[in-house]
Chains A and B, each alone.
Chain A
Amino acid sequence: MKNNKLQILTNGIIKENPILVLILGTCPFLAVTTQASNAIGMGAAVTFVLLCSNIMISLLRKVISDKVRIPCYIVVIASFVTLVQMIVKAFLPDLDKALGLYLPLIVVNCIILGRAEMFANKNNPLDSALDAIGMGVGYTLAMLAMASIREIFGAGTWFGIELPVLIDNNISIMTMAPGGFAIFGILIAIINKASNGKAIKKKDFSCEGCPSAAACNGQNCAEKREAAAK
């Protein structure tokens, strides 16, 4: 039993890392990883929202009727995001400025709605909390890795500390938009190679990674596929 709990916790960090394996929540991942400190801030904010909403949804899972569950989840998630926005604005104004638009956009982050639908509404609050922590840590670590690569090579600094040699030879495209796409692609390819293709569950987009899989249960894609077949 204890093993089981540990497995839930570590699942999100390695085996089902939300970014690098499930490929969920890519928008903020690409946008805020220009500096390691921003990545940590964003990761912490996402983890907090994920933890609170997972616990809350798990507690309410018997109360919420199945038909209206998605709007209910969105309300719960949006409330916690508002809370985080207020806290960050009040205590960390610099971070607020750096994250900007991407802080309220945690609401539409696929990881949070995805975990609510896939895990929290089927499991008890303790398991859901562990799952949220695992997923949150996995997300933060992936962000930190990406941000470190981009900041060290792109700006020649790490957490704002200037690094010798690199600071004079920075490759500034790495902190810009194209660098984000390219490094993300290369990271996934490395993980693919390292695990002999076992790690990446989906080489392509499927319902598993679709932000609205929760809402549609594959109906949309089925309709689309039919339309395409015609």
Chain B
Amino acid sequence: MKELLAIVMAAILVNNYVLSQFLGICPFLGVSKKLDQAAGMSVAVIFVMLLATAVTYPIQYFVLNNLGLKYLQTIVFILVIAALVQLVEIILKKYIPALHASLGVYLPLITTNCAVLGVCISNIDNYLVEQAGFGGGFVQAMFNSLGSGLGFLLAMVLFSGVRSRVDKCKCPECFKGMPITLISAAIVSVSFMGFAGIVENLLG
């Protein structure tokens, strides 16, 4: 239990996907203007990350590793994620239109999001141990995905707050738009550096 909590905490605070590993920068900069959009996008990301891990991890373990096809990982994962996202969108549209109305618009955007593919690949790299069997790393991988997704949510929500203030401020003409957004992202990122070591000290 402690181990799983440590994985989630580390993924949210220390190895935050957006602010310390630079994955998923496009939505981070693009969709973070309004709080509700930022939150909607992040919830969709959490959902897809969990789903993608739940599907790609067994595929890697039972199919690719078993048949000696490890080198096909990149192709298989991206196609599986793309197909999965489409499928989920169709299902949501048909059966849960209310949820589709709030999350659906973000789903196609996530297909080519590097954070989702990134979390799947890093789960395989970090938690899949051949000798430990399927259960040996699957739970940890799922919790890592959950933590990474929550970290994305935290970064998006915090940054949308910062950004709504920054957008109202006066700044030099050449800094308007992207440059000032990136510099405020840098400052938000500094604050996350303060979390280094927190997991070891709290739970170690």
Contact = CB atoms under 8 A, between A and B. Distances in A.
Interface in A162-193: 173, 176-182, 184-186, 188-190, 192-193
B49 to A, nearest CB: 14
B71 A189 contact: no
Interface residues of A, number: 56
A46 to B, nearest CB: 13
A197 B30 CA distance: 20
A160 interface: no
Contacts of B26: 26-27, 110, 209-211
B179 interface: yes
A86 B181 contact: no
A79 interface: yes
Interface stretch (A135-143, A148-156, A215-223): A215-223
Interface string B68-106: 000111110011001000000000000000000100011
Interface string B7-20: 00000000000011
B58 interface: no
B126 to A, nearest CB: 10
Contact of A205 (B29, B105, B121): B29
B109 interface: yes
A33 B148 CA distance: 23
B125 to A, nearest CB: 8
A211 B112 contact: yes
A105 interface: yes
Nearest to A181: B186
A104 B112 contact: no
B129 to A, nearest CB: 18
B21 interface: yes
Contacts of A82: 71-72, 74-75
Main SS at interface, chain A:
helix
B109 A101 contact: no
Given A27-B23, A107-B74, A110-B26, A220 B105 contact: yes
A74 B117 contact: no
A144 interface: no
A79 B189 contact: no
B75 A197 contact: no
Contact of A185 (B22, B108, B183): B183
Contacts of A210: 26, 30, 109
A200 B178 contact: yes
B75 A79 contact: yes
A1 interface: no
A85 interface: yes
Contacts of B114: 27, 105, 108-109
A171 to B, nearest CB: 13
Nearest to B167: A204
Given A193-B174, A197-B173, A197-B174, A180 B22 contact: yes
Contacts of A86: 71
A228 interface: yes
From B24, B178, B185, B193, name the one whose CB has the most chain A CB atoms within 10 angstroms: B178
A108 B105 contact: no
A212 interface: yes
A30 B105 contact: no
Contacts of A9: none
B197 interface: no
A113 interface: yes
Nearest to B119: A101
12 contacts: A27-B25, A28-B22, A31-B23, A74-B78, A79-B75, A105-B117, A177-B21, A181-B185, A193-B174, A200-B178, A215-B108, A224-B37
